[in-house]
Amino acid sequence: MKVTVKYFGLVAEATEKSEEVMELKGELTAIALKEQCLKGLTITDKDSVQIAVNQNLDDSITIKDGDEIALLPPFAGG
């Protein structure tokens, strides 16, 4: 299955790209895809990175063909 993965903030800096199309095999949850995408990157607090699937922040979602994935840095504000 093919999905589009978009990177923002420090994740985009670490990957040196803003998005890519990935070919995935088998069933994969959002949290598993996040771990796969962040593996080997020089991000000190990987737990603070959030993953959204089709603009939904539930990391237990199962990824489907054509989904849009976003890896989001920690947000600050108030």
Q: Specify whether the CB–CB gap between 3 and 68 falls below 8 A.
A: yes
Encode pLDDT of 18-41 as tens digits. 999 999 999 999 999 999 999 999
- Angstrom distance (rounded) from CA 1 to CA 5: 13
Architecture of domain 2-72: Roll (3.10)
- Angstrom distance (rounded) from CA 9 to CA 37: 15
pLDDT band, residue 75 (cuts 50/70/90):
confident
Say whether pTM exceeds 0.85.
yes
Q: What is the pLDDT of residue 76?
A: 63
Sorted by where each begins, the domain ranges of the chain are: 2-72
Encode pLDDT of 35-71 as tens digits. 999 999 988 889 999 999 999 999 999 999 999 999 9
